[in-house]
Amino acid sequence: MTHKEKFIEAIQKSYSTTLPGIHLGSGILDGEVVTDARVTIPLRMMNRHGLIAGATGSGKTRTLQVLAEQLSDAGVPVFMSDIKGDLSGMAQAGTTNARLEERATALGMSFKPDAFPIELYSLSGNLGAQMRATILEFGPALLAKILDLNDTQSGVLSILFKYADDKQLPMIDLNDLKKVLAYLSEGAGAAEIKADYGSISSASAGTILRKIVAVEQQGMASIFGEKSFDIDDLINRVDGRGVISLLNVSDVQDKPALFSTFMLSLLAELYQTLPEAGDLDKPKLVFFLDEAHLLFNDAPKAFMEQIEKVVRLIRSKGVGIFFCTQMAQDIPDSVLSQLGNRVQHVLRAFTPKDAEGLKKTVKTYPRSDFYEIDQVLTTLGIGQALITVLNEKGIPTEVAATHLVPPRSIMGPLTTSDYEQHVRASDVYKKYKDPIDPESAYEILSRRMEETARAQQQAEEAKAAAKAAPRKAAVREEKGMFEEALASPLAKQIGREVVRGVFGMLFGKSTTSRSKKSGGLFGF
């Protein structure tokens, strides 16, 4: 048996399946595309999670597109972030050309352009249906990541959430969060929580408030609120094909922590919402997290624990997760160890750091009788990848350098007019277009603070009135004594003498001279 025949036998034995699967391409041996060495992923293994890695420009985005197209064909809904805004073209059939025909021929297939059902979403609301989540749905760990809080500030955030939960205060948007923060960091609220929750320092409260304001100034306050996104809208089908939901983040590329954390919040909600499903013939939903390294950059411990928990347990809910990044080392070992399907595009080794990364990547692959893994990883062409997946029995397959199948839809964005038309025609866009402002923590605490202020004012007025009461009583007593004295006979006599004296002065005569002439006081 020749070396090529051994290769074909090994690949067919390792990758063949009687179950529905996704055709990734054909193996490459000594630079030749071996058509019969078909490389596939069993559909039921797509919820065992995976990694798509490779250098910039190596074709990772097109690999995502190929996987999404075939999942849609199989009736599996897909959700993926569109970092550059160039995946919307999946809504239209591609056009054939010589290169695509050549690739299809090498893989023993015919190229048939096709369009796929897509739904366009946006965090800003400008590029698709508005995706929102309430503050409470986000939770303290994910929100702390978005606000870039340290451990102490994250602890304060946890106090706010615990208090709001205990007191049934719905925190819907950032105004609610700011109101709860203000209430608990000063005045009656601060005294109320001191014993049961701990105190909040003015420094921590001030820092958190500034971080919230910064998010608002960036125009991202709209992602927090109602109507909150219904996770069931991701699990849709059209004519039996799974809908490909695209979160276009091209207008918030400079806020990677925001969109990566938002996607993780959707995963967390899926985990909490979906029932246990066990091993399914095909997943309910496959999630693709592009630029996955952004999730883990400077991630606090609580955040990492939540990611690990979701990745470990969500498989049993029928959801698969594929992380897409440049280097396998971008993914923490605790997460990487749970990714059974690996698609590794070309790696560059231009620097000592690159060379070290290459060595680490090589160690994560099974031994191969057909390749020197380090050499293959640096010589793969665009649209080629080194692949190992789990077969239908859950066993890792033979490592195969693979010539990948081409996408059947447009490899690029829709035109501006087509894009806008697609968005406006969407029922999902209409569903989430207008925000809702229900009564929440802001209104409840505002009333409570107003009532407290009125009660304090009334108490102060009562205290002032009580303090002034004895003085008023003394004044009334003095006035009564004075009036009684004026009403006495002696006072009346004295009054008459005073009047006489006054009239005498008015007439220019003294009472003494008049009495001498008249012989009496009145001249009698």
Calpha distance 313→305 (Å, rounded):
12
Q: What confidence score (pLDDT) does residue 286 get?
A: 96
Is residue 135 within 8 Å of residue 173, measured between CB atoms? yes
In this model, does residue 480 exceed pLDDT 70?
Answer: no
Q: Region 22-50: what's the mean pLDDT?
A: 94
Nearest to 340 by CA among 81, 61, 42, 60: 42
Are 117 and 180 within one domain? no
Structure tokens at 98: 């010589």
CA distances from 137 to 163, 269, 289, 435 (A): 15, 8, 20, 16
Q: What confidence score (pLDDT) does residue 356 get?
A: 86
Strand partners, 81: 247
Q: What is the DSSP letter of 414?
A: P
Calpha distance 439→101 (Å, rounded):
59
Q: What is the pLDDT of residues 332-388, one digit of tens each?
A: 888 998 999 999 999 987 888 888 888 888 888 888 999 999 999 999 998 999 999
φ/ψ of 82, rounded to 5, equals -110, 90
Are 100 and 35 within one domain? yes
CATH number at residue 327: 3.40.50.300
Q: What is the DSSP letter of 224?
A: B
Of all residues in the chain, the percent with pLDDT exceeding 90 is: 53
Residue 202 gets the label, from left (phi > 0), alpha (psi -120 to 50) or beta, of alpha
CA distances from 197 to 153, 156, 163, 376 (A): 14, 10, 8, 57
Helix (H, G, I), strand (E, B) or coil at 207: helix
Are 180 and 329 within one domain? no
Are 265 and 304 within one domain? yes
Opening angle at CA 467, ends 465 and 471, nearest 5: 100
Calpha distance 123→219 (Å, rounded):
10
Q: What confidence score (pLDDT) does residue 519 get?
A: 44
Are 401 and 519 within one domain? no
* Helices within 109-201 (DSSP H only): 135-147, 151-166, 174-185, 188-193
Q: Region 443-468: what's the mean pLDDT?
A: 85
Neighbour count for residue 223 (Cβ, 10 Å): 25
Structure tokens at 318: 């029928």
Q: What is the DSSP letter of 178?
A: H
Nearest to 30 by CA among 358, 376, 456: 376
Calpha distance 245→248 (Å, rounded):
10
Query: Which residue is it, tokens 């041996």?
Result: 29
Q: Is residue 462 in some structural domain? A: no
* Interacting residues of 363 by C-beta distance below 8 A, sequence separation 6+: none
Q: How many Cα neighbours within 13 Å face the side chain of 317?
A: 22
Helix (H, G, I), strand (E, B) or coil at 277: coil
Q: Is residue 483 in some structural domain? A: no
Calpha distance 67→72 (Å, rounded):
9
Nearest to 97 by CA among 308, 383, 328, 410: 410
Are 167 and 266 within one domain? no
Q: What confidence score (pLDDT) does residue 279 get?
A: 83
Is residue 388 within 8 Å of residue 362, measured between CB atoms? no
* Helices within 316-414 (DSSP H only): 333-336, 352-363, 373-379
Q: Which residue has the higher pLDDT, 246 or 496?
A: 246
Q: What confidence score (pLDDT) does residue 507 get?
A: 47
Query: Which residue is it, tokens 């749905």?
Result: 137
Opening angle at CA 523, ends 518 and 524, nearest 5: 110
* Helices within 41-110 (DSSP H only): 60-73, 98-106
Q: Is residue 452 in some structural domain? A: no
Q: What is the pLDDT of residues 387-404, one digit of tens each?
A: 999 998 889 999 999 999
Give 513's pLDDT tier (boundaries 50, 70, 90). Answer: very low
Neighbour count for residue 3 (Cβ, 10 Å): 10
- At 311, which amino acid appears? V
Is residue 419 within 8 Å of residue 251, measured between CB atoms? no
Are 270 and 401 within one domain? yes
Q: Is residue 86 in some structural domain? A: yes
> Domain end: 368, 399, 432, which one?
432
Q: What is the pLDDT of residues 196-233, one digit of tens each?
A: 888 899 999 999 999 999 988 888 888 999 999 999 99
Helix (H, G, I), strand (E, B) or coil at 329: helix
Q: Is residue 303 in some structural domain? A: yes
In this model, does residue 488 exceed pLDDT 80?
Answer: no
Are 256 and 362 within one domain? yes
Q: Is residue 469 in some structural domain? A: no
Are 375 and 519 within one domain? no
pTM value is 0.83
Residue 378 gets the label, from left (phi > 0), alpha (psi -120 to 50) or beta, of alpha
What residue numbers bound the domain in which 501 lies? 488-524
Calpha distance 65→20 (Å, rounded):
19
Are 327 and 407 within one domain? yes
Q: What confidence score (pLDDT) does residue 90 get?
A: 96
Are 344 and 252 within one domain? yes
In this model, does residue 91 exceed pLDDT 80?
Answer: yes
Q: Is residue 478 in some structural domain? A: no
Is residue 418 within 8 Å of residue 404, measured between CB atoms? no
- At 130, which amino acid appears? Q
Calpha distance 38→19 (Å, rounded):
14
Are 109 and 213 within one domain? no
Helix (H, G, I), strand (E, B) or coil at 431: helix
Q: Is residue 180 in some structural domain? A: yes
Give 8's pLDDT tier (boundaries 50, 70, 90). Answer: very high
Strand partners, 118: 244
What total of structural domains would you count in the chain? 3
